[in-house]
Chain A
Amino acid sequence: MLGGRAVLVSSVSTILFFAVIAVIVVLAPGSEIVAQRFFSPFHLRQSIVGTASTPSVVGAFLLNVYIFAISEVLILILALVIAVVRQIPGPVFFPLRMVAIAYTDIFRGVPLILVLYIIGFGVPGLGLGFVSYLSDVTYGIIALVLVYSAYVAEVYRAGIESVHESQNAAARSLGLSRWQSLRFVVLPQAVRRVIPPLLNDFIGLQKDTALVSVLGSIEAVRAAQIYGASQFNYASYVVAALLFVLITIPLARFTDRLIARDKRRRQAGAVA
């Protein structure tokens, strides 16, 4: 049986692997100064807790979570609308389809940071009614939603197009209208299929919330930068990085589990 021997070999291999790495790291010139600059316990604690003149990185991270939570919901909705509009059949809906296509082209083409600048600095400058007097976090969320909806709409579209046309044909022949067929037969299947790539995009969204800092609000990365600029120690960046990784891991493992379950489901039918 492979069990015992495999475990032994993998343990020895793991220990050796990390021993070699540890040795290389310790031997590297400048490792002392790297340890002091990035991993000093005093600075790690100061950046987590905050000081009189620098904000706490952990506290500022709540802003990232807030932005992510709100954006995620809005993106899921807007992207679905765009994906559905894009595939409405019929010549009378041609302009709507064009708008949907143009939307995904434009907002996947323009870099997010540019959209942030245009919306965060440009729109307030126009002085148009209430639209120009929103908070910078709101503008940041708007920019994130606009850009990510374009990407996610394409993911939805891939899902919708992957559902075989026979599903739609069967639904129509049972008397369901086009919308009913979409809503009850096609979309449920389509969305289930694209959950892994959707979650992948959201893992990316979590990081991009850091860019909202260009509009002035203090989120985790900016808080880390403020600490780093005044203390010349970059432990705060390490803290911010760890926080981002910590919220990514549950989402990533959950995605893995969904992919595995989906694979089992599909292949279960094949073994006949």
Chain B
Amino acid sequence: MKRTVLICLLVAGLSLTGCAGQQGSGGSEQGGSGSEKSCDIKNPPLFEDGVLTVATDKPAYPPWFEGNPENYSGFEGEVANEVAKRMDLPIKWVVEPFNKSYAPGAKDYDFDINEITITPEREQAVDFSEGYFDDAQGVLTMKDSPFAEAKTISDLKDARFGAQVGTTSLEFINETVKPNEETKVYDTTNDAKSALESGQIDVMVTDLVTTVYLRDFEIKNSVVVGQYPRNEQFGMLFEKGNPLVGCVNQVLGKMKEDGTLQKLKEEYLQQYLSVPTLKK
């Protein structure tokens, strides 16, 4: 019995080793030509035929998204709606957590629109459309905090900072501010917000518009210390190599030309942008 088992194992092992000789290791089909493939706007390659599947996080915050999740308005909601309208497609909203969105791999949607900053590191893993909004970092603290009156980055060196993991806000804190206390890193902006309210951190950083929105509507007695622009833009996020980027860029280009994008910005975002700039 033992001898039979041994012989079977031997034969199995040898035959599989034989197979290994031939094939190279399979599957790096994704390498491909990184450049944008052309996209026919009348017949675009969609995740689900006949509908534009757009993803964002849940909960989605105003003023980026307003109204009910079947039919978002708000700045990013309307940008996506406009893109769908110009491509003559109905829009379908799905959920994708921010932390997963810029990870490499196949996506279950056509694109994700969720205040995602275009960075060279992320571009290795996913594709972005052209930028549709110039972002700055916003710094938020409580009214009675010693840091509420800060005018420069160095005024904030002794503060306890908090931000969401994997965001450019965290990069800004680690690379530009370099605070003396260890930065607290949270799973979501919501957790950072709770930490700020309960005094676990002094200062919280997220994108400028969200920062002002939090001050105005969500966190009582908070104050925006300032903004810090870093030449960052939000882009719509696509699976790497998805040719749909070309079509969306065409549409976005027209929206910029004919002023639609500017109009949406004025309608939803203007009140959130007048914030003093922090000096270095």
Contact = CB atoms under 8 A, between A and B. Distances in A.
**Interaction A to B:** yes
Interface of A: 9, 12-13, 16-17, 19-20, 23-24, 26-33, 37, 52-54, 120-121, 124-125, 132-133, 136, 213-218, 222, 225-226, 229-232
Nearest to B188: A214
Contact of B28 (A23, A28, A33, A120): A33
A13 B13 CA distance: 11
A110 B25 CA distance: 47
Contacts, number: 115
Interface in B1-23: 2, 6, 9-10, 12-13, 16-17, 19-20, 23
B197 A125 contact: yes
Given A9-B2, A31-B25, A226 B162 contact: no
B187 A214 contact: yes
A93 to B, nearest CB: 38
A124 B200 contact: yes
Contact of A222 (B103, B104, B165): B165
Contacts of B195: 121, 136, 215-216
A48 to B, nearest CB: 18
Interface of B: 2, 6, 9-10, 12-13, 16-17, 19-20, 23, 25-28, 30, 99, 102-104, 121-122, 124-125, 162, 165-166, 170-171, 174-175, 182-187, 191, 194-195, 197-201
Contact of B13 (A19, A26, A30, A218): A19
Contacts of B26: 27-31
Given A26-B25, A31-B25, A217-B184, A229 B194 contact: no
A20 B194 contact: no
Contacts of B174: 52-54
B184 A226 contact: no
* Main DSSP-derived SS at the A contact region: helix
Given A13-B9, A26-B25, A232-B102, 6 more contacts: A12-B6, A32-B27, A54-B174, A216-B195, A217-B184, A226-B185
Contacts of A136: 184, 195, 200
Given A9-B6, A27-B25, A216-B186, A121 B191 contact: yes
Contacts of A54: 174
Given A132-B199, A230-B121, A232-B103, A23 B17 contact: yes
Contacts of A215: 184, 195, 200
B2 to A, nearest CB: 7
A75 B202 CA distance: 32
B2 A20 contact: no
Contacts of B183: 218
Closest 10 interchain pairs by CB? A229-B166, A216-B184, A29-B27, A124-B198, A29-B26, A125-B198, A30-B27, A53-B174, A232-B125, A121-B194
Contacts of B16: 20, 23-24, 27
Given A33-B27, A33-B28, A229-B165, A23 B20 contact: yes
Contacts of B13: 16, 19-20, 23
A13 B186 CA distance: 48
B194 A125 contact: yes
